Amino acid sequence: MEPSDATAPLSRRKLLGGVSVGLATSSAGCLQYARSLVNRDSPQQVSVTIKTVPADDDEAAVQIARTLQKHMTASGIDAEIELLEASELFRDVLLNQSFDVYVAQFPPHHDPDFLRSALHSRFVTEQGWQNPFGVSDLGLDERLADQRTTTGNDRQRAVASVVESVAEIQPFAMACFPKDITVVRTDRFDNWGTDGLDAPFSYLALERPEDAPNGDPTTLRIVQTDDRITKNLNPIAVEYRRPNPLTDVLYDPLARRYDGDIRPWLATDVTWRRLDDTGVTATVELRDGLSWHDGQALTAADVVFTYRFLDDTSLGTGNMSVPSPRFRDRTSLVESIERLDDRTVRFGFGDTVEAVAARALTVPVLPSHVWEEKTGNTNIAGIDISEGVTQALVWANTEPVGSGPFRVESRTPAERLVLSRFDDHFLVGGGPDRFHVPFERLVVRMAPSDAAAVSLVTDGAVDATGDPVNPRVLDSVAEEGPIAVHVEDSRSFYHVGFNARREPFGNVRFRQAIARLVDAEYVAETVFDGYARPAATPLAGTSWEPPEFRWAESDPVVPFAGTDGELDVSTARNAFREAGYAYDDDGRLLK
């Protein structure tokens, strides 16, 4: 059930005038910053490196980074851009925590509890999307705990309090939520976009039109520009995974989110209880006759293994636990797990509410007989192994054994991936509600650009673009005949991430001054040609968004220091002065 719009009043004056409240010990970088102020011998210009991907990977991210660099330079900062391949960028940011500033999209979310793993101090030393910003604030921690133990209007108010704290701390600067644009053909398959094109159901809900021309209806053909899926099929490799339904059709979770709720998938039933002494529990009963792609039975033992393995991929053999960076936000909800019989598992979630705990059931279940051999320590070029890295986290898994409706038939790195139907899957014989497997093979081919991908669709070589395309390519698309354009609201927002572990980003006022160099309204209109929504909070556009944070021509907390994309240099520089910085005679910002 969606929460109501009732919220506790928020003080915009407090946000604008008292942003440093509660931040005396708020981040690991603050102490380093304070020491540098005392110990520095001669002032030096503030230097910042902005990391992002090349334009071929994400043109919007590069444009945001270039504009930010331009505005930093105008503000007296020595700013440069470093372009990295997507996997290298996410290794630096999510695994090695080696960055000043980065520009990217945050993984999509459907519940405000994702903010807990993104910002709670518990995760500050972990890898992945668990607090990559390095912020640590006890007040925010308390608010994040409150929002997961309440329901209804109480939770609405608790979430609003979290949003207020995030605005005070400013660990990242919001830009916008883009529209996901996909170009499809409707002559061979129809019913596109029923469940959002970033979900596996966008494929599993397809139908064969009655007036379809002759051809091969048993193969779905899609094209992508991101070739990482042809090189790495490890579902827990955080630097290789982006929202993509392809890995979701290889691995099944206990439950999936569709039609607005989390519903049983591998499970036939989930029974929830709240006990006074142990909190929330869930008893999960598996479908009968489940099996892995290699023919071995999928049982409750695999479920128990999965959650223990994702919590520590070394399974206790190392000097420290090595949790999986991907899905950590969900598996951290699980306090205990117990196998009752071959088809039944009981979860213990402690003091939380069912709506939050249910998220833990949406991680992919892994076969124990494949993954239990991947617990040993390993190393790989480009990844900091000081905290320990297991084989599970770096393994390419090019011949995956899952339980999903499709399995890998063949692949050619950087060129093609071919999936074939898994005939023993429960969907093949009729699954939950309206889902089925409407084709026998799924062929994914790579294209060098969005324009090339769209051309393959319009020429009839493929049935759809498999990842979102830039709105600028739509000028060449005529929506007539079998060609259609689907536009969906994305829950994956563009942002500028700050590393609070490093000077000067340990200073909250410095982070706010940098945030004021981003004109989200201008970005949405120019970079995305209007196919985006500027936002002041990650919860924008949902019923969780507090009224004070709704966009009204400008950011209500850190308004752009200028107009229509043009920076007012005097305003920007005053913000850095108010943050405690000074300029030399040459206009350079000094540290």
Which of 226-240, 441-455, 514-528 comes out lowest in average pLDDT?
A: 226-240
Residue 348 located in a structural domain: yes
- Identify whether residues 381 and 517 lie together within a single domain: no
Instruction: Based on the fold, state whether residues 155 and 238 are members of the same structural domain.
Output: no
Residues 173 and 244 placed together within one structural domain of the fold: no
pLDDT in tens, 285-322: 999 999 999 999 999 999 999 999 999 999 988 777 88
In a domain, 130, yes or no: yes
**pLDDT value of position 553:** 84
Final residue in a domain of this structure, among 375, 396, 417: 396
Q: What is the dihedral of CA 543, 176, 506, 114, to 10 degrees?
A: 40
Please state, rounded to an integer, the average pLDDT across all residues of the chain. Answer: 87
Q: Domain for residue 477, yes or no?
A: no
pLDDT score for 24: 34
The DSSP code sequence of 44-108 is -B-EEEEEE--TTT-HHHHHHHHHHHHHHHHTT-EEEEEE--HHHHHIIIIIS---SEEEEEPPP
User: CATH code at 256?
Assistant: 3.90.76.10
Give the CATH number of the domain where residue 150 resides. 3.10.105
Nearest alpha carbon to residue 506 among 40, 16, 28? 28
Instruction: Count the domains in the chain.
Output: 2
pLDDT at 25: 36
What's residue 479's pLDDT? 79
In the chain, % of residues over pLDDT 90: 65
Same domain for 381 and 255:
yes
In the prediction, which pLDDT does 9 show? 36
Q: Is 368 found in the same domain as 499?
A: no
Instruction: Identify whether residues 286 and 378 lie together within a single domain.
Output: yes
Range of the domain at 293: 234-396
Domain boundary among 344, 368, 396: 396
Q: Are residues 264 and 372 in the same domain?
A: yes
What is the SS3 assignment for 372-441?
CCCCCECCCCCCCCCCCCEHHHHCCCCCCCCCCCEEEEEEECCCEEEEEECCCCCCCCCCCCCCCCCCCE
Summarised one tens digit per residue, pLDDT across range 45-89 is: 999 999 999 998 899 999 999 999 999 999 999 999 999 998 899
Query: pTM (2 decimals)?
Result: 0.85
User: Tell me: the pLDDT tens digits for 411-423?
Assistant: 999 999 999 999 9
Listed residues 332, 363, 396: the one ending a domain: 396
* 274, part of any domain: yes
Per-residue model confidence as pLDDT tens digits over 99-125 = 999 999 998 888 899 999 999 999 998
